[in-house]
Structure 1
Amino acid sequence: MSSNKPLLNFLSGITFVTLWSSASSATKIGLTAVQPLVLSIPRFILAAALMLGISHLLMRKPIPKDKKLWKQIIIYGFFNVGLYLGLYVVAMQEVSAGLGSLFIAINPVLIMLISTIWYRQPIRPVTLLSFALCMSGMVLAAYPLLHGSHASILGLALLLLCNISYSVGAIYFAKQHWKDTPILTINGWQTLVGCICLLPFAIYYYQSDANVFNGAFLGSVVWLAIPASIIASLIWMMLLKDNPTKASAWLFLCPVAGFAIAATLMGEPLTIYTLAGVVLVIAGLYMVQRMKSEQTQ
């Protein structure tokens, strides 16, 4: 069994990168059929139902009763699902799937920078440099797309805001005491909370003539809820548990995979600006991951 472990980890890493990086393209496909929040709500309901069903029905885990725990779940759900994915799916109307994947990839850098500011710690030069590299890479990759129909200033601003929301949620989650509550239970309920936050906006802005509930819609919802969210997250947790340092290395492939998938499925252009932007983002990610590795040693 141990002789097969390296191969298993490699295949798991490739699967994670592919599934995680496919989310932006799947979102773009879904948006060809329906409005942004009409795409999000069914996805969240399906994902929450699956996670809570497994947690409470199959695993027999109790429903949380502690009021403080519920407060934490609500706050986490608002930032991690309601605000983050709500802004993300709206932004994807304005930008290419490749840029969406590239923005998601910079989350570790944003988390490091925001965490340092939040807890009033001295900001290390390497943190600022990694952030500057990532932002420069984003601007460089987006530059030629701004002249076409593949990106807009509004879309880029929304992507930045949604990633800031995700980073705040991640920092909040890490600093709370969850009283041995299973991660599947937390994720199930926080996903449902995020769905409830978005539901009033989805109803208010709903336009019947702007939505076609076809195969593109159904396929996008199922793919985003199960392979790109639940399965990818489970594989990521497995990789982290086995070796956090090696697991982090897979993040470097996500921007490359995101653009490759977008070019294949969506026909999005790949230019020298794309390559240079991805290289800068990967360099920024590498600096942050190396700094985190040094801090844990």
Structure 2
Amino acid sequence: MGSSNKALLNFLSGITFVVLWASASSATKIGLHSVQPLVLSIPRFILASALMLGIAHLFMKQSLPKTKLAWKKIAIYGFLNVGLYLGLYVVAMKEVSAGLGSLFIAINPVLIMLISTIWFRQPLKSVTVISFFLCMAGMLIAAYPLLDGSHASPLGLGLLLLSNISYSAGAIYFSKQNWDGMHILTINGWQTLFGCLYLLPFAIYFYQPTANVFDFGFIGAVVWLAIPASIIASLCWMSLLRDNPTKASAWLFLCPIAGFIIASVIMKEPLTWYTLAGVVLVIIGLYIVQRMKSARN
């Protein structure tokens, strides 16, 4: 492949990743207009895991995890990365705007850096602390005018923060494990299914028949979240990382901007100067962390 064609492919992959990844919050809000949070999550995880495992084991002929230790690793990863993270996230999205949901997701690189430093008892660098507080300040500023209306609540913001801490812990756990050459679709398929199983008892316990309408909004949200916003976006991201991790990280800066634009257009959520100021602070915090990671490499 020529350099110009490769550059075009990377550009299209980056744009696709940003749009699909940023659209997840708005798709979640649309689904939540029809059903309860966990009722939205369970079918999404079943569909996504079935597709990934079908491709991995039926078409690619990948083998099943071979040892109890491998299954244990997948189960732990599924608890952190799907059960706890996405379980808390979808409940939080009942309380906050789609734009804020996208903004919180964008700070994961900062949380990963901070948690990794604490987890492995490394010296806490000032740039890590500064980037973290910039991101936190940005999110609070963006959320401030929304607290008076129906677009945000302290409970929702707290759940969003906890969910992203779980995601960051899962990402660190994943990176530190020896997966013995297991294919990424095998890992993701089974960990998504495990996450679904963790959430299923809660979905059954809290299920209220009158609170759920299984209409086109519900079906569309499930399909969009399972395929474009999860599988396709992840494949684009992995393609970008494989080509150039440093350049790939630059696309993360566009995700919060795209998230607020999509939420404004589709969900009619308000855009204010507080939104702009909050997004700018989050992007600066992300930039500091990405510069530090690039310097390490």
Q: Same fold (TM over 0.5)?
A: yes
Residue deviations 1:244-273 (CA, integer Å, cap 9, x gap)? 111000000000000000000000000000
- Specify the alignment match of 1:168 in structure 2: 169
- Specify the alignment match of 1:87 in structure 2: 88
Q: Superposition pairs for residues 197-212 of structure 1, below 5 Å? A: 197-212=198-213
- Specify the alignment match of 1:73 in structure 2: 74
Q: Does 1:243 align with 2:244?
A: yes
Q: 3-state SS of the aligned residue for 2:147?
A: helix
Q: Superposition pairs for residues 208-223 of structure 1, below 5 Å? A: 208-223=209-224
Residue deviations 1:4-29 (CA, integer Å, cap 9, x gap)? 22122111111110000000000000
- Specify the alignment match of 2:285 in structure 1: 284
Residue deviations 1:48-90 (CA, integer Å, cap 9, x gap)? 0000000000000111121101110000000000000000000
- How far apart, CA to CA, are the structure 1 residues paired with 2:180 and 2:12? 33
- Specify the alignment match of 2:260 in structure 1: 259
- Specify the alignment match of 1:127 in structure 2: 128
- Specify the alignment match of 1:48 in structure 2: 49
Q: Superposition pairs for residues 169-188 of structure 1, below 5 Å? A: 169-188=170-189
- How far apart, CA to CA, are the structure 2 residues paired with 1:27 and 1:247? 25
CA RMSD, aligned part only? 0.5
Runs of 4 or more consecutive aligned structure 1 residues displaced over 6 Å after TM superposition: none
Letter in 2 for 1:48: S
Q: Does 1:138 align with 2:145?
A: no
- Specify the alignment match of 2:7 in structure 1: 6
Letter in 2 for 1:238: S
Please give the TM-score of this superposition, normalised by the length of structure 2.
0.99
Runs (5+) with no aligned partner, structure 1: none
- How far apart, CA to CA, are the structure 2 residues paired with 1:237 and 1:92? 26
Letter in 2 for 1:101: S
Q: 3-state SS of the aligned residue for 1:246?
A: helix
Q: 3-state SS of the aligned residue for 1:22?
A: helix
Please give the TM-score of this superposition, normalised by the length of structure 1.
0.99
Shift of 1:203: 0.2
- How far apart, CA to CA, are the structure 2 residues paired with 1:208 and 1:226? 27
Letter in 1 for 2:168: S
- How far apart, CA to CA, are the structure 2 residues paired with 1:164 and 1:5? 35
- Specify the alignment match of 1:17 in structure 2: 18
- Specify the alignment match of 1:102 in structure 2: 103
- How far apart, CA to CA, are the structure 2 residues paired with 1:6 and 1:67? 42
- How far apart, CA to CA, are the structure 1 residues paired with 2:112 and 2:125? 14
- How far apart, CA to CA, are the structure 1 residues paired with 2:6 and 2:56? 28
Q: 3-state SS of the aligned residue for 1:217?
A: helix
- How far apart, CA to CA, are the structure 2 residues paired with 1:40 and 1:257? 23
Q: Superposition pairs for residues 141-156 of structure 1, below 5 Å? A: 141-156=142-157
Letter in 1 for 2:15: I
Residue deviations 1:201-234 (CA, integer Å, cap 9, x gap)? 0000000000000000000000000000000000
Aligned-pair identity in percent equals 77
- How far apart, CA to CA, are the structure 1 residues paired with 2:59 and 2:128? 43
Letter in 2 for 1:51: M
- How far apart, CA to CA, are the structure 2 residues paired with 1:189 and 1:168? 18
- Specify the alignment match of 1:112 in structure 2: 113
